[in-house]
Every structure is written in C-alpha cells, then in structure tokens.
C-alpha cells in the first residue's frame, strides 16, 4: 500500500473542502477500496473519511418514496421494514450480495462505486485499460467467464459487480450528489458511463463530488423478483442477475421494469425490452422476443458466451414467475 494522507471529515462541507485533488478518494466502509489499495490497483494520495458525516438514515420523501442516506449500510437497508414491504426487490438484491460481514460494513454510496471484479483489473502484472489507461485489455483474449456481453468496447469488457444497483436501476432510483457547486440529483440511468475508449471513467461524478443519498421513487407495486445466477450458492458475483418489477392487469402486462446484473459495465436496463412486454399477454414466445431485443447486440468473448443463452433462460423464468396467476 502506498503511503497516503488521511483526513476524517466532521461534516459534508469539510469533506467537500478536503476533496479537492484528483488523487483524493472518499472512504466509507472501505470494503472494496482498501483491498484495491493493498494491491495498489488504486493508490490515492489522500483519503477523506466520511463516516462521521450526517449521511445515515432512511426517510420518507414527500412524493412517497424513500431517501436513503449514503452511509446506510447494506445490512440496515436490506432489513428496513419499509424497503422489505414496498421495495422488496431491493432488499432481496442486497441480501444476494457479498457476505453478512461485508454487508454490515458496506454502504449505499460505496456500493454504487464498486469497481469491477475483472481478474486482470486486479492483477498489476497484466495490462488493463481501466487500471492503466492505454495499456490494453488482457481480458478480451484471456479468461473472461465473469465479464460483460453488453455495452463493452474494444478497450474494456468489465462488468459492474453490484447487486444493489441492479435493483435500484429497476426501481428508477436517483442519486443525490453534492459538490463545491452545490447539490444535484442524477438519475441512476445517467449516473454510469459506458467504457468506450475511457474505461477508467466509470460515472459522471466529477472529482470532489460526494454521493449523499439515493432516492427511491414511490413504491412501484407489482411482483418483485431478484434472481441471481452464480458459480456457487452464496458469496459469488453474478454471472447473470435479473431485477424485475412486473404487474399484470386483466391478463396483460401492465408494468415491466427490468434491470440486469453481470451483463454490462453498468446495471443494465433496456427500455425497448420493457416496451415490448407492456400491453402484451404473457407467453413463452413473448418472453423469448424480449430476450431477442435485450440480447440483439450481445457479444461473447469465448469464456462468457454462455451468458447469452443463460440470460435468455433466466429472463424467461423470472418473467414466468412474475406473471403467473395466483401465487
């Protein structure tokens, strides 16, 4: 680990003041950042500890949604009675991630900013455009079982590893961000960037900007499912995951909000897939058509080719479960 400066901020204003330089990182739970710093995959010159900031708590919003403080732990969020009742897909996604110990420490804001689990990103002996811009991508022709099939570029095929963010994407969450220029809200769909030729830039956050909360819109109702497919029963990242919020009225699909993990560099959502479903009668053929749309641009890299049929089958199973009568 490279030596670094450490500042414990007392409030948001102080944190923002301290977070000037490009070499600075905020630290909350540190469950991902510290591992990366030990390996020197990340080597910030300065850490601003935000754990003393008043960014905890989960509050109802005026519009009937929830405002989740950036420092709310994954465990607390998953256990919140309101979340369990009205946004159950979020609770299920959280509990499908990491381990009990990690969820006790990991925070809402930090979870959104997790780095990829690409093997080559973690390995300083290998080229990686995300870690070291311009060095190349070892994953494309190497081991890529866990990597992306959607939204990739020739420069990077990494996936975003979060489960929480997938559920939030399905729910249409917004991220509240504060910087020297003031506070603003960013829709989660606008929060992440595709890799293109700058895979090291993963979000639209500017240096020194701090996530202060995540806003959930009012309860979406419907049937909510989070299904995560992985290489062991627990404590593994998603090969494919599906967050679904689906309502059926009078035999037709009235609502379909679907987000996917394990497929792309960001929690993936495709409006065309949802448009194709809404207003239709559930059927195997319809679900297959939805998968066709979702996977039209999908590209495997050898070791992850299986994700294409796996996604198709998992999506069909989730939609079948979500639209079955009398559950």
Partner 1 sequence: MTLETTRRLKHDTPDTDRRLDGMAQGVLGTGMDRPEGPLKVSGRATYAAEAHPEAMAEGYLVRATTIGRITGSNADAIRAMPGVIEVIEDERMIRNAAQGMAGESPVQRQGQVWYVGQPVACVVAESFEQARHAAQAMMVTIEPDGTHVFDAEDPAAEVEKPEQKQLDQGDLEGAMSAATFSLDATYHTPSMSSAAMEPHASIAQWDEDGVLTLRGSYQLLKFNKAELADVLGVAPDKVRILSPYVGGGFGSKLGLAPEAVAAALAAQALGRPVRVVLHRRQVFETVTRRSETRQRIRLACDAEGKLSAIGHENLVSQLPGEVFSEPVAQGTHFQYAAPNRVIGHEIARIRRPAAGSVRAPGEAVGVTAFEIAIDELAKKAGIDPLEFRLRNVPDKHPENGKPFSSSTMEATLREGAKRFGWTHTPPRQRREGEWWIGTGMAGAVRVNMMIEAMARAVLTGQGVRVECDMTDIGTGSYAILTQVAAEMLGFAPDRVETVLGDTDLPPASGSGGSFGAASTSTAVYLACMELRERLAAKLGVKEPELTLKDGLAIHENRQTPLAEILGEEEWRALGHLQPGKAGQEVRQATWGAIFAEVAVSDVTGETRVRRMDGTFAAGRILNLKTARSQCHGGMTWGIGLALTEAMEHDPRDGHMVNRDLAEYHLPVNLDVPQLGVHFLEERDDWANPLQAKGIGELSVCGSGAAVINAIENACGVRVRRLPATLDQVMDGLIAQG
- Considering the rule CB under 8 A, would residue 310 count as an interface residue with partner 1? yes
- Considering the rule CB under 8 A, would residue 143 count as an interface residue with partner 1? yes
Which position has the token pair 């946004």?
87
DSSP annotation string for 263-308 = SSSS-B--HHHHHHHTTSPP-HHHHHHHHHHHTTT----STTTTHH
Q: Tell which one of 62, 134, 232, 250 touches partner 1 (CB under 8 A).
A: 232
Closest approach, Cβ 55 to partner 1, in A, equals 28
Q: Tell which one of 234, 279, 281, 285 touches partner 1 (CB under 8 A).
A: 234
Two tokens, residue 223: 């049937």
- Considering the rule CB under 8 A, would residue 23 count as an interface residue with partner 1? no
Q: Tell which one of 84, 117, 200, 299 touches partner 1 (CB under 8 A).
A: 117
- Name residues contacting partner 1, limited to 40-99 (CB under 8 A): 40
Closest approach, Cβ 176 to partner 1, in A, equals 30
What span, in angstroms and rounded, lies between the C-alpha atoms of 34 and 322? 39
CA distances from 75 to 55, 100, 106, 112, 157 (A): 16, 7, 8, 15, 30
Which position has the token pair 């890799």?
195
The stretch near partner 1 (CB under 8 A) out of 217-225, 233-241, 261-269, 293-301 is 233-241
- End-to-end Cα separation, the chain, in angstroms: 52
- Considering the rule CB under 8 A, would residue 325 count as an interface residue with partner 1? no
What span, in angstroms and rounded, lies between the C-alpha atoms of 306 and 156? 19
- Considering the rule CB under 8 A, would residue 145 count as an interface residue with partner 1? yes
CB 191 within 8 Å of CB 213? no
The stretch near partner 1 (CB under 8 A) out of 61-69, 105-113, 258-266, 304-312 is 304-312
- Considering the rule CB under 8 A, would residue 129 count as an interface residue with partner 1? no
Kindly give the pairing relationship between strand 5-8 and strand 46-49.
parallel
Kindly give the pairing relationship between strand 46-49 and strand 24-27.
parallel
- Considering the rule CB under 8 A, would residue 324 count as an interface residue with partner 1? no
Interface residues toward partner 1, by CB under 8 A = 1-3, 38-40, 117, 119-120, 122-125, 138, 141-143, 145-146, 229, 231-237, 239, 306, 309-310, 313-314, 316-317
């Amino acid at each position: 680990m490279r030596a670094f400066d450490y500042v414990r901020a007392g409030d948001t204003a102080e944190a923002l003041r301290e977070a000037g330089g490009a070499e600075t990182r905020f630290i909350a739970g540190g469950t991902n950042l510290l591992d990366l710093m030990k390996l020197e995959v990340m080597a910030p010159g300065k850490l601003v500890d935000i754990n003393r900031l008043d960014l905890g708590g989960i509050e109802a919003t005026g519009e009937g949604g929830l405002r989740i403080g950036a420092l709310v732990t994954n465990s607390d969020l998953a256990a919140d009675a309101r979340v369990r009742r009205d946004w159950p897909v979020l609770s299920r996604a959280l509990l499908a991630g990491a381990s009990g110990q990690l969820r006790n420490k990991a925070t809402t804001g930090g979870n959104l900013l997790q780095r990829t689990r690409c093997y080559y990103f973690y390995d300083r002996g290998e080229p990686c455009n995300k870690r070291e811009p311009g060095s190349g991508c070892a994953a494309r022709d190497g081991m890529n079982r866990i990597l992306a099939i959607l939204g990739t570029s020739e420069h990077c095929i990494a996936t975003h590893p979060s489960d929480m963010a997938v559920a939030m994407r399905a729910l249409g969450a917004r991220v509240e961000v504060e910087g020297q220029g003031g506070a603003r809200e960013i829709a989660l769909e606008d929060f992440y960037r595709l890799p293109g030729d700058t895979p090291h830039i993963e979000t639209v956050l500017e240096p020194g900007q701090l996530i202060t909360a995540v806003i959930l819109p009012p309860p979406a109702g419907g049937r909510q499912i989070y299904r995560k497919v992985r290489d062991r029963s627990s404590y593994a990242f998603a090969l494919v995951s599906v967050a679904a919020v689906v309502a059926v009225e009078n035999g037709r699909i009235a609502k379909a909000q679907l987000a996917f993990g394990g497929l792309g560099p960001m929690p993936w959502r495709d409006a065309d897939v949802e448009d194709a479903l809404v207003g239709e009668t559930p059927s195997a053929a319809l679900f297959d058509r939805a998968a066709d749309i979702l996977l039209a641009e999908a590209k495997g890299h050898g070791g992850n080719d299986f994700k294409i049929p796996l996604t198709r089958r998992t999506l069909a199973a989730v939609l079948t479960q979500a639209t079955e009568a009398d559950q």
